[in-house]
Structure 1
């Protein structure tokens, strides 16, 4: 029996242990404190300490530390930096197997924070119930399923009697769900490898690309007036309906999206970048024209569009210029121009699909009986900072990403097992293994 067969046999023989480990992660509700109106103790530390004990027990050298926002000030204006953010009780964790080995190194990377459970669950969101081949729970998809898979993959190698010929670093970080400062801090801390698997959910496809995401709020000014009464021309002090002006801008956004649908595409993305309107807020009374309106939007951008700080400044300018041009064509808006308030800029990244590491991952996936499909992710992941410092990175993990943050979030348990096998196979093929 060769090395790979021994490792795969171990995984098949420890299926229940693998799923039990994921359940243990689900049962520690490591909800990012950003989701609470009032300060609440985070369980992120509890989860990281649980993982530290697990990884130390497998023989890894471990480091647990709390990010310090002031230490990251040199990254101001770049992805993941938020001044003054408090990480007390919210540590990052790194565990390194065979740190002095001379072979190619690999980072297995993931975040352990989750969004709050929310409402309308039909099962306990923090139990990890298994039914009909699916495990339910907050984080089964995003992304404790992937974290469990990557840790159990290195355990499969170690428990099968092998050690990697190159360093394998397991990195688990906090704060991805609120901007990615944990990943920035991990890279700032100095961890570097020859390649990285970020175990975000991909439904077991290889995703060497994620899109950037901009959240913004367009503020449209009007002038209040009695909605049931005749109004003078706005130049003479009459009312101006901010909702009507917002509708005009929405029409212009529709035209912009038609252009983007042709121009902002990528061969590994199934849908083009668009400016999606997510919220409309306007009006004060049923008897008054709206004094102001807000259009809250989500706009996506491609890695090729990043600015000099590796974020979405170029697309911000494009949208600001678009808004100014649209306003000039409307007499009221030309004198009362709408403004954009930027809320979030979540970065993006891409690794060339022809890179040897990407192709290694594809071969590993095919070797366990999967298609080995390559496709991009339409949403942000933490892959930006590894790529920014020269680490070729792919996203790969169990679970359908469209189910992330849903009530009754679930991952097929067979996908978790397949993810363990693929990652273990990649350790064998990329790093190499030898008898311990």
Structure 2
């Protein structure tokens, strides 16, 4: 088992976490390492569900905060183990997970270990399966099976925000658009109808689609509608009778999942549309006193103004529970999932210090 030193150097801890391969579905080793680092600490109660680890204080404070982050990554692309580029204030940590989101997880581990007397009770949540379909999400599993573990007044997701505060998140859904054809021998193709050729109209509608910018509670969310997969054909000498285009729609939190599904079905009117996966978004919620307090404290350290989270994050799960939540963590979200994923070391320190100051204020 990899050994983590949560009280040591933050950069070293971040690299150690990143260097544990933990592609979704393979999080056991990193969950074991986090549990082993925190379980011996007397100020924490440590709980485990599958590959999700929860550590919490029980100090009787007036307010409880959840600080959460996922320990899984998208597949590795030759970018583990990590490497350091540059020195001093310009240093950048490169590798899978440095942005999404083991930098945020390292901050959680470090603060969970060293903050023995925070002014708020804290529940630290490290969960699995965030990068895959919503039904597998470890935080969702905790909501279903251990809802009391997440009881709190406010939540912070350590998702990458380039050390800013990002409110809410877009919703997301995936749909399969089926194009029907008629099978035939390719030597007599005129006897059939080629479903792959017919998919051209589906792709044309996507190409002509104009994504909306939607203002929600003062923040502007940009939507997106894209083909993310296409399948069809059974053999090299058969005209295919079916082609399926998989579409991903990222929609502003002003829409419900039902409204977003209706919008997709309207766009592909005339085709068989199946919604295969969906997660609703979350409104910014920055008008809530706890969220406003955190945003003011964090941005006093990092600067800037609140921005929208354009991807989907688990702030949406907290929104469903009626719990205000924001995104705050190191790393530029534009670099998430990219082969050149890298994070400024200075942002690790900045987010760590801002979160520590707020939890001890």
- TM-score, normalised to structure 1, is 0.71
Pairs within 5 Å for 1:30-429: 30-33=22-25, 42=26, 44-66=27-49, 90-97=50-57, 99-118=58-77, 121=78, 125=80, 127-132=81-86, 133-158=91-116, 163-180=117-134, 181-188=137-144, 189=146, 190-191=148-149, 192-224=151-183, 231=190, 239-255=192-208, 257-258=209-210, 260-261=211-212, 264=214, 266=216, 267-269=218-220, 271=222, 273-283=223-233, 290-306=240-256, 312-324=257-269, 327=270, 338-368=271-301, 370-429=302-361
Q: CA deviation at 1:15?
A: 10
Q: CA deviation at 1:58?
A: 4.3
Q: CA deviation at 1:148?
A: 0.8
Root mean square deviation, CA, Å? 2.8
1:432 maps to none
- Report the secondary structure of 1:357's partner residue: helix
| Counterpart secondary structure, 1:215 | strand
Q: Which runs of 5+ in 1 are unaligned?
A: 1-13, 34-41, 67-89, 232-237, 307-311, 328-337, 430-436
Contact kept, 8 Å, 1:209 with 1:348, in 2: the verdict is yes
Residues 265/242 of structure 1: CA separation in 2 closer, same or farther (3 Å cut): farther
TM-superposition CA deviations, 1:224-281 (whole Å, max 9, x none): 45778795xxxxxx543434432223333445x33x526x55453452x232122333
Deviations 1:389-433 (A, max 9, x none): 12110011101122222224221111111110111122134xxxx
Distance 2:341 2:193 in 1: 45
Tell me the number of residue pairs that the alignment of Structure 1 and Structure 2 aligns. Answer: 346
Structure 1 residues 24-53: Cα deviation after superposition (integer angstroms, max 9, x where no partner): 2122222222xxxxxxxx3x2332232223
TM-score computed with the length of structure 2 as normaliser: 0.85
SS in 2 for 1:397: coil
Higher strand share: 2
For 1:413 and 1:58, the matched residues in 2 are separated by 27
Q: Assess if the C-alpha contact under 8 Å between 1:150 and 1:423 holds in 2.
A: no
Residue aligned with 1:203, SS = coil
Contact 1:110–1:173, Cα closer than 8 Å, also in 2: yes
Separation in structure 1 between the aligned mates of residue 281 and residue 263 of structure 2, nearest angstrom: 17
Matched residues in 2 for 1:230 and 1:106: separation? 64
